[in-house]
Structure 1
Amino acid sequence: MGKHRWGERQVLHVAMVRSGPLQQQHHLTTLCRFLVDSGFSLDFFSLQAPFEDEIWFGQQVPGMRVHWVGKWGGRGIGRFIRGGLALRRALQETRFDILYVVDSWTLPYLFVATWGHMGFGGKPLVYHTFDLITPEGHGRAYVGLERYAARRSRLNVNTDRSRAEVAKLMFGLKERPLAVPLRLARDAVLPGWDEGRREAILGSERRGNEILAVYPTALRTDRLSKEVILAFAKLPPNYHLVTIDAGGSYAMECHEVMRNNGLQHRIHLLPPMTHQAVLELCACADIGLIFHDIDAGIGNYFCHPGRLAYYVALGLPFVAAEVPAMSALVYRYGLGGCCSPYEPAAIAEAIRELCEGSIPLTDRRRHILEVFESKLHYGYEAQALVSALERIRSGLTRA
């Protein structure tokens, strides 16, 4: 491509690569929209997503060019080889200044596409992961591949400072990865309070004093759904829970717990839903819940889920698992409370304290919306990403 002449500020061309479905990935659309709105030229290369996702994704981010590279079946290395070679051809046909790879499961394709160098044509590599590969859940080769990619990158990006610090130590990096938390954009279009939807959930026999807690995740072992259900057995009868039933043996066990505790009319189960439907569900609730089995893996321990972004953007107070990163955020900004996720009595106590404490829920909502507008929207901390990419630009200028 040759050297740039930067007499005037030139547009920085970014080639972003990601493997996996694109629909319902709000964190991805938020990132891409932010980069485009910040003045970057963005080509997005999609692997292993349905073809129709390309059209949908392009509509979410005006100005971004989406390239569907392909979709390959099988469980062996063949799909990585075919996908990697296709990606290489696509990159060769595109002008870009920075190669920006998203998520660890994209790395095998990138490894093939770059002949193992994790770089392309001397362009700087940025590695942005919304999670962190951990030894207890993956083979050594996969962890080693992420370590190699992180070391080869000019910039590493993660979702919070705790994960970033662990990645720095695990991978032997010279610098701590940049932390860009999962948030919604300040100008995101969000649903409002829907009394009709709330009534449809609670039923026609509602009395008007119900407290509706939303737990927008499937009934799963690692989400400690049984513990949450049992917590509602310890709460007054006006406390209701709405969550998602995606089927399976564990979900059937949860049904039995509900029957044994007479909770069928207070635990409301909905089928799997779209991202927009989740937002609408959260918008008609009084409080939210965020729990994980924090002993199951490092990702659950750091606990920085998308639900946090929904709750804050909608002004929804919540109770979350008591882990350091989450507790620090919750109590620093007055977002709700934290407790042990393993003890139903502790969960019930934390919920009652949030709902019946000295601060009315309406005041908490108002406060959380103010915090979202000032500090907990995506652009507030993502501005550091723009600055980091601009520093890479400066390096290109001197090259």
Structure 2
Amino acid sequence: MKVKEFFQKIKIDKITEFLKKNARYFGAAAVFVAMVLILARCTDGTTSDKDPMAGAYQQYAESDNKEVNDLITKYYEYYAAGDTDSLKQIATPISDAEVSYIQFYSQYIEKYQNLKVYTKRGLDKDSYLCSVYLQIKFANIDTPVAGLDFFYVQTKDDGSLYINNVYGSFNQSNGEFDMDTDIASLIATFEQQSDVLALQAEVQQECNEAMLADENLNTFVNTTLQDAIKQWAADYKASVAQAAEEAAAAKAAEEEAAAKAAEEAKAAEEAAAAEAAEAANAKTKVTTDKINVRDAASEDGNLLGQLASGTQVTWYADENGWAKIDYNGTKAYVKADYLADVSGDSTQDTSQSTNSSANLSQGQEITLANTVNVRESMSETASKVAVAYAGEQVTVIESYADGWTKVDYNGKQGYCKTEYLQ
């Protein structure tokens, strides 16, 4: 049921509804009771137990079933305390709207007293049609007022009893849960029986007398309480609308976050693919002059540092005249015009020198004019121990006649072509 339809159907409390619905009978209550009692005496109430409607025609009996009586007593104790968690253990289902209503209404209740439970058989032998006479003592009101309530009690699979709250007064007024047609038909028949009508009339008369005797009670029930119930209904409707709005906003935010996460994941995947492609196409190049390293492919990019001439770098791509390179583990940019391809082993290994025959002294420290490969053995095909860049120093350990010199470079020992150390 839609919220709007629900609140269009909201009725006032059980007692105020009872008074308004039956007010026209107040003056003739005594005569009506007498007529009903006469009809009751003329009806023997016997029907076949095989008939599912048979229970409605049984004569009322005040319950001596301790389990039924205890169940009803607990219900009103919990209701008066606004203890909806405990109520849900013995009466089900209880909607969110009814939970809110009980918690609101219980603040006006001091206690329910003088309960009397009248029962007839329900649709089967393990269910009960229950009329409950009670007196309601409102807080700060001297006179209690009589009321009449209805419950449909059934048996669980474990043999314990519970109140089927689908047939309680709140759902009968507001229609939040669908009713079983057989049970609904049984209850409708039950409510038309002479003894049920007689009890209703008696309670109506008692209620009427209390209202006439106590003006404070009359004002409270017919004005104060009704206004409070209307205000509760408006507040609850607003809270439901707000909750729906917040839920919609939360769902929209969740969907937006999911979409953003998906976009970020896609972007990360594309970036990873692009980086993998760059790595696959990476080349080693050497600087041809001293150059600036920037964080963007622009002269306006932040200056990260400089590279000396002859420095080998890992090149990934050219972007509008700028080379994307690896600089200390991060991506950076230099002018592409100042990079050259490295051919063969190294620029220095394949070049000719006019000073290759110069003698070098043991312990001599040499500042490199060019980038030099330091190898494991005296061979141009030997593995590299390190690459010593232009401007760095190496220390001579021993120079050999066949054109190689053993050097120490930053704690690593290896061999360089002697001609590159001149």
- Per the normalisation by structure 1, the TM-score is 0.18
Q: TM-score, normalised by structure 2?
A: 0.18
If asked which structure has higher relative contact order (CA below 8 Å, sep 6+), I would say 1
Greater fraction strand = 2
